[in-house]
Each structure stands twice: as structure tokens, then as C-alpha cells.
Amino acid sequence: MDKLFDIVILGCGPAGLSAAVNAIIRNKKVLVLGREICSPPLHKAQLINNYLGLPQIKGQDLLEAFLEHAASLGVEISPQKADTISEIDGIYHILSGDEVITSKAIIIATGMPYKPTLPQEDFFLGKGLGYCATCDGPIYRGKDVLLIGHSSEAEAEADFMAEICNKVYYLPLYKGVGTLDSKVEIIEGRPASIIGTDFVEGLKLKDGREIMVEGLFVLGGETAPDRLIPGLEIEDKHIKVNRQQETNLPGVFAAGDCTGPPYQVAKSVGEGQVAGLNAAKYVSRK
Ligand SMILES: Cc1cc2nc3c(=O)[nH]c(=O)nc-3n(C[C@H](O)[C@H](O)[C@H](O)COP(=O)(O)OP(=O)(O)OC[C@H]3O[C@@H](n4cnc5c(N)ncnc54)[C@H](O)[C@@H]3O)c2cc1C
């Protein structure tokens, strides 16, 4: 498959789908990345009563209508998450698992701002703490590591680390862990804090237990946008955009809850439209 897209959209909630619909109408080659359930918040919303023209609609029904509209125009949604993004010669390279997708422009529509799992994540990032075990794995060859998994997506990374590390602990924050490599020790409990002064030395659990490791990974949850794309400007925990939905990085746009309140469907759809149209213009100019 030719993997150079005009626009890759991160997130298939209202903002991402609105951006996709508007960009595809402008004849752009678009790919949307997202979870199996696009927009967990809208899916959960029992009743939306402030979306113009559709009073008393269930969140799930509104999401279904958005997805059907996007599908009818040929919007392709791939159930995968972007792990990191880098820019080389004006082209964005999106790493998703072991796949690299390339695009001329990016629209970030990843929803509510990231909430850290542990205190001091920012301080320890790159000092023994990481968000992608398969990316940083070789640094921890022969060492002891602990992986915190927010979803079953993290299990493959635990198996990978079992092949190269001395000891792998896996702390799942969800129910129904699958079958893991026999070298992986599953830990039950809730994480409390990182042990260490300058570098990670271990993890303290809420019940007081301490597990000493050199590497700690938080996996399978959402990634903070500025970790996704280094250099992305954040203001007050949200992606900073102007009225064209442009970020500080050329060809990178953002829309929806990730740009700030009000956290509402109509605002997400509106910003998605502006981002989709401006990303399409950016690609045409390029
Ligand atoms: C209980 C509840 C009730 C609500 N009621 C209302 C209401 O009555 N009226 C109203 O207007 N709004 C309501 N909302 C808010 C509304 O659902 C949100 O404002 C809206 O869904 C935001 O859309 P979004 O596209 O910005 O983000 P989201 O819908 O959150 O979609 C973001 C998507 O991006 C995906 N994503 C994240 N990171 C990545 C990545 N790295 N790579 C790829 N994909 C990624 C996520 O998995 C998610 O699918 C309610 C929300 C909740 C929780």
C-alpha cells in the first residue's frame, strides 16, 4: 500500500471525523487513526441535548451517524494509535506499533488532555521512564523493567521485553489479561509513585510494596500531544492553536477537546471542519 497520505488525522471522535469529511470533500488522501470505539466520551453520553437540530439524541446514536456519514464518503478509519511523530524534510512520519505511516499534514483530534498515571512522569521521562517499550527496549537489554498497562494493547510490548530483559513485571490496570510470555511476572495492585532521585529506581504501590527496576513504562493509555510530536506548543494543558486551527508546527493542526474548553460536540465538529479545510489548503499549496 502507498502510505504517503495528504492528511493523517489522529482520533475518530467528532473533531477527527468532521476534519476527515471536510478534507475528503476537498479531494485529499486522508487516513484516520483511532480506537475500536471511536470517541469513548460520546459513546458514554446518555443524552446530548445541545447539538443543533438533533435534540434528545443518545451519544451512541450521534456517534453512529457521524461514522456512517464518514463511511459514505469513503473515509478510511484504521484502528490503531499513533505512538510518536517526527518530521523529515516536510513529511511527517507517524510510528504506530511497528508500522510507519507518512503524511504531508497532521490533524490532532485526540480528545481530553492527558492525565499522567504517576506523579513526576515529566521529570523521569527519558531517565528510566518511557511510553514505548518497543522503541526504548534495547536500552534495557539484560535489565529489570516494569510495564504498567492501561489496556491489552500493552501485552505485546511485555512479551517483547521478556525476550531481551532480565526480568519483566507487568502491572495491568484493566481486567482480563491475556496469556503472556512465561518470563513475565504479573503484579496485582495500583501504582502510587516512582522511586528514584535522578533516575528511576523502582515503583511504589499503593499498598506500600516496592518493586525495584531500572526501567518503567506506562503503556496502552493516551499519549500527551507534546510527547507525540516534540516541539508542539501547549498552553494551559491544551494544544495552542489560532483561529485557523494551526499549531506552532507547519502542517500540524488540532481540533476538539484537545485544544481546550468548552468540551462539547458542536465545538469539536466546528473546529474539525476548520482544521480539515485548512489542512487541505496547506497540502494543495505544498
Ligand atoms: C458522560 C459524558 C456526557 C457528555 N455530554 C455531552 C453533551 O451533552 N453535549 C456535548 O456537546 N458534549 C458532551 N460530552 C462531551 C463530548 O463527548 C466531547 O466534547 C467530544 O466527544 C469531544 O470530541 P473530540 O473529537 O475532541 O474527542 P474524543 O471524542 O475524545 O475523541 C478522541 C479520539 O482520539 C483517540 N486518540 C487519542 N490519542 C490517540 C492517538 N495517539 N492516536 C490515535 N487516536 C488517538 C481517542 O481514542 C478517541 O477515540 C459528554 C462527555 C461525556 C464523557
Contacts of 127 (CB under 8 A, 6+ apart): 196, 198, 199, 200
| pLDDT for residue 2 is more than 60 | no
What is the DSSP pairing of strand 91-96 with strand 184-186? unpaired
For residue 256, give the C-alpha cell.
Answer: 476538539
Best residue among 8, 42, 61, 101 to mutate for probing ligand 1, ranked by most atoms within 8 Å of CB: 42
Best residue among 64, 268, 269, 274 to mutate for probing ligand 1, ranked by most atoms within 8 Å of CB: 268
Cα-to-centroid distance, 110 and ligand 1 (Å): 8
Cα-to-centroid distance, 264 and ligand 1 (Å): 8
Whether the CB-CB separation of 253 and 22 falls below 8 Å is answered with no
Pick from 117-131, 167-181, 185-199, 252-266: least confident: 117-131
Whether the CB-CB separation of 171 and 189 falls below 8 Å is answered with yes
Cα-to-centroid distance, 53 and ligand 1 (Å): 20
Whether the CB-CB separation of 152 and 174 falls below 8 Å is answered with yes
* pLDDT at 266 (0 to 100): 97
- Residue 243 burial (CB < 10 Å; 0-12/13-18/19+)? exposed
Per-residue pLDDT, averaged over 246-272, amounts to 97
For atom 21 of ligand 1, the residue with the nearest CA is 42
Cα-to-centroid distance, 45 and ligand 1 (Å): 10
Cα-to-centroid distance, 48 and ligand 1 (Å): 13
For atom 47 of ligand 1, the residue with the nearest CA is 35
Per-residue pLDDT, averaged over 176-195, amounts to 95
Best residue among 78, 263, 273 to mutate for probing ligand 1, ranked by most atoms within 8 Å of CB: 263
Buried b (16+ CB within 10 A) or exposed e, 147-177: bbbeeebbbbbbbbbbeebebbbbbbbeeeb
For residues 82 and 80, give the distance between their C-alpha atoms in angstroms, rounded to a whole number.
Answer: 7
Cα-to-centroid distance, 203 and ligand 1 (Å): 31
Per-residue pLDDT, averaged over 80-92, amounts to 93
Q: What is the dihedral of CA 138, 11, 60, 278, to 10 degrees?
A: 180
| pLDDT for residue 155 is more than 50 | yes
How many helices (DSSP H) and strands (DSSP E) are in the chain?
8, 17
**Residue 97 identity (one-letter amino acid):** G
Q: What single string gives the DSSP state of each residue in 196-229?
A: -SSS--EEEETTS-EEE-SEEEEESS---HHHHS
Task: Tell me the per-residue pLDDT of 186-209, one tens digit each, with 9 for 90 and over.
Answer: 999 999 999 999 999 999 999 999
For residue 181, give the C-alpha cell.
Answer: 510470555
- Helices 265-285 and 14-25 cross at an angle (nearest 10°) of 40
Which residues sit with their C-beta closer than 6 Å to ligand 1? 10-16, 33-35, 38-39, 41-42, 44-45, 48, 50, 81-82, 109-112, 222-223, 228, 256-257, 263-266, 268
Cα-to-centroid distance, 15 and ligand 1 (Å): 8
pLDDT > 90 in the chain, percent = 80
- Domains in the chain: ranges and CATH: 4-114+223-285 (3.50.50.60), 121-219 (3.50.50.60)
Q: How many CB atoms lie within 10 A of CB 37?
A: 14
For residues 207 and 94, give the distance between their C-alpha atoms in angstroms, rounded to a whole number.
Answer: 39
Task: Tell me the per-residue pLDDT of 115-125, one tens digit each, with 9 for 90 and over.
Answer: 889 999 989 98
pLDDT > 70 in the chain, percent = 99
Q: Mean of the per-residue pLDDT values for the chain?
A: 94
Closest CA to 88 of 225, 229, 227, 226: 229
Task: Tell me the per-residue pLDDT of 19-76, one tens digit each, with 9 for 90 and over.
Answer: 999 999 999 999 999 988 899 899 988 899 899 999 989 999 999 999 999 999 999 9
Cα-to-centroid distance, 43 and ligand 1 (Å): 8
Per-residue pLDDT, averaged over 249-268, amounts to 96
| pLDDT for residue 1 is more than 50 | no
**Residue 143 identity (one-letter amino acid):** K
